[in-house]
Amino acid sequence: MKMLINVPETVVADALRGMAAAHPELTVDVENRVVVRRDAPVAGKVALVSGGGSGHEPLHAGFVGPGMLSAACPGEVFTSPVPDQMVRAAAAVDSGAGVLFVVKNYTGDVLNFEMAAELAEDEGIQVTQVVVDDDVAVSDSTFTAGRRGTGATLFVEKIAGAAADEGAPLERVASVARQVNGSSRSFGVALSAVTTPAKGSPTFDLPSGELELGIGIHGEPGRERRPMMTSGEIADFAVDAVLEDLRPSGPVLALVNGMGATPLLELYGFNAEVQRVLSERGVPVARTLVGNYVTSLDMAGCSVTLCQVDEELLRLWDAPVETPALRWGR
């Protein structure tokens, strides 16, 4: 497989060096694998720290900045960061108001963030954790006990980040994060397998005429394989899977997310079908975001995430944000 890399062993470090050069508003510690907003710690502000394996960019480092994360910890490709990274990040951004860890529900991430929280508490840093588990495709998978954490991570980090920027205390920021997670559901579809730099070839076999419904962001199996479907048929299946579980009674935020190799031309066309299905099901859409945000390296495919919102959550979603990958209102 052709990749724009030097050697697999330096992929993450090289990417972090490039990120540092492109974004002077961030402090990027390449050696210790921590990305921090340059003005941290912000006096009196709850800090948000997240992280996970690399390969899902812009998640999480691309969401560091005003209105969102205070710091992110990138692990190796598809591998959890280690507790030392998380403790360094917490120490770098803690202003005394406490730190919220946003954790995707994967076994390595959960265990390492739990250990980091204990170590941070030993250093006098107050830490609360919120686990994101929005994927309705499967109840358990290779990497998780319970549902996987996927696209709703963006909603949690943005909305809870806005609450923190407004000066909300740690308990309130954590409550908002849990409300967003509880109000969100996701479903993903793969059109091709993912290739990691270390392996250099697809990590699983997906014949050219088939797709995987309910795929995970590391290539974990989904609900079933089917012959290739049209965009409209995929939208019907994915949106119905989300709505069957979420059952929204009000307006929703909609994220139409690319898995990394699907161009915007296709994603916008798919969004048209998603909006059609939601309209047919009587679900009002308050805001829509389309693009590659929670990716899986070079996987072709998409995911749909819906979050039911009230006026307060919508206000926090609309609040200003300024990160490498998400910015408006400033």
Which residues belong to the active site?
56, 218
Q: Using the CB atoms, write b or e for 25-46: b if 16+ within 10 Å.
A: ebbbbeeebbbbbeebbbeebb
User: Residue 19 corresponds to which amino acid?
Assistant: M
Q: What is the DSSP string of 78-118?
A: TSPPPHHHHHHHHHHH--SS-EEEEEES-HHHHHHHHHHHH
**Sequence-ordered list of residues with C-beta below 8 angstroms from that of 305, at least 6 positions apart, any chain:** 134, 150, 151, 152, 154, 155, 184, 185, 186, 242, 253, 254, 255, 257
- CA-to-CA distance for 136 and 181, rounded, in angstroms? 12
Closest CA to 157 of 298, 12, 289, 5: 289
Closest CA to 256 of 243, 237, 275, 282: 275
Task: Tell me, rounded to whole angstroms, the distance of Cα 221 from its chain centroid.
Answer: 19
**Sequence-ordered list of residues with C-beta below 8 angstroms from that of 166, at least 6 positions apart, any chain:** 319
Neighbour count for residue 57 (Cβ, 10 Å): 20
The Cα diameter of the chain in Å comes to 55
Q: What is the DSSP string of 152-214?
A: HHHHHHHHHHHHHHTT--HHHHHHHHHHHHHTEEEEEEESS--B-TTT-SBSS---TTEEEET
